């Protein structure tokens, strides 16, 4: 009797793995499309606000931080060979920024699978994004910014790079809080991911939604100010 049961279990596992791979491929494609659409947003000097991290965070929350890292690298690579003008340096910076935010948030959420865990993970993701990009902008940006010395870039760290990454991370954090629940619910209904073992946080209450919208509005206004729109 054990052999048929084992065979059925292996078949279910194989089907689930196939569905997960298909879902990750779909989320990779969606993240790339969102990145293209984000190019329509106002930029700050040569820095572009990018909402692909929302899609990648949802993938990380659903399938784990390794999935977030894989999709981050894939999307950055596809961007490099399709529309990017910054080559391998842009690829490295892009992948580092997304991994810093999404993998940190996904790792914490995996350990604390609650709304509090999501908020904490995303908050730490924003902090990690800001710190990592301050360091790497200081190290790498002078290599491709014509006419800017390392001292010039260092002077821009607190006035440009820090507020930009804070605004970008804050917007992605708020959007992820708003979109994760409906997206993962759709994936569960499709049988792509198993039902949640945690009874907490299956539905977003009104207070949580209002908090997320207020957070998103705050960082959107902040981003528009940085871009000189308002």
pLDDT, mean of residues 4-31:
76
Token pair, residue 51, equals: 């909402």
Q: What share of the chain is helix, strand, coil (3-state, %, to 5)?
A: 80, 0, 20
The per-residue pLDDT for range 108-117, each reduced to its tens digit, is: 999 998 999 9
Q: Is the pLDDT of residue 197 over 60?
A: no
- Provide mean pLDDT across the span 155-180: 95
Give the mean model confidence (pLDDT) for residues 75-81: 96
Q: What are phi and psi of 2, to 5 degrees?
A: -70, -30
Question: How much of the chain, in percent, has pLDDT values that exceed 90?
Answer: 61
At residue 34, what are phi and psi to the nearest 5 degrees?
Answer: -65, -40
pLDDT at 140 over 70: yes
Structure tokens at 179: 């979109």
Burial of 194 (0-12, 13-18, 19+ CB in 10 A): exposed
Q: Which of 145, 212, 172 is nearest to 35 (CA)?
A: 172
């Amino acid at each position: 009797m054990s052999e048929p049961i084992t065979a059925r279990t292996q078949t279910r596992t194989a089907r689930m793995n196939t569905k997960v791979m298909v879902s990750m491929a779909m989320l990779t494609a969606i993240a790339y499309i969102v990145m293209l659409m984000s190019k329509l947003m106002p930029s700050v000097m040569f820095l572009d606000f990018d909402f692909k991290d929302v899609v990648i965070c949802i993938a990380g929350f659903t399938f784990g931080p390794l999935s977030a890292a894989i999709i981050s690298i894939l999307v950055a690579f596809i961007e490099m060979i399709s529309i990017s003008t910054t080559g391998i340096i842009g690829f490295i910076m892009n992948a580092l920024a997304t991994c810093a935010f999404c993998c940190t948030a996904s790792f914490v959420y995996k350990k604390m699978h609650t709304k509090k865990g999501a908020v904490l993970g995303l908050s730490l993701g924003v902090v990690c994004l800001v710190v990592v990009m301050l360091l790497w902008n200081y190290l790498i940006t002078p290599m491709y910014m014509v006419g800017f010395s390392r001292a010039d870039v260092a002077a821009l760290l607190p006035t440009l790079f820090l507020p930009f990454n804070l605004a970008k991370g804050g917007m992605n954090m708020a959007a992820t809080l708003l979109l994760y629940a409906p997206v993962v619910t759709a994936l569960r209904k499709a049988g792509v991911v198993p039902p949640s073992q945690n009874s907490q946080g299956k539905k977003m209450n009104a207070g949580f939604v209002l908090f997320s919208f207020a957070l998103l509005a705050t960082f959107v206004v902040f981003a528009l100010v940085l871009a000189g729109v308002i």
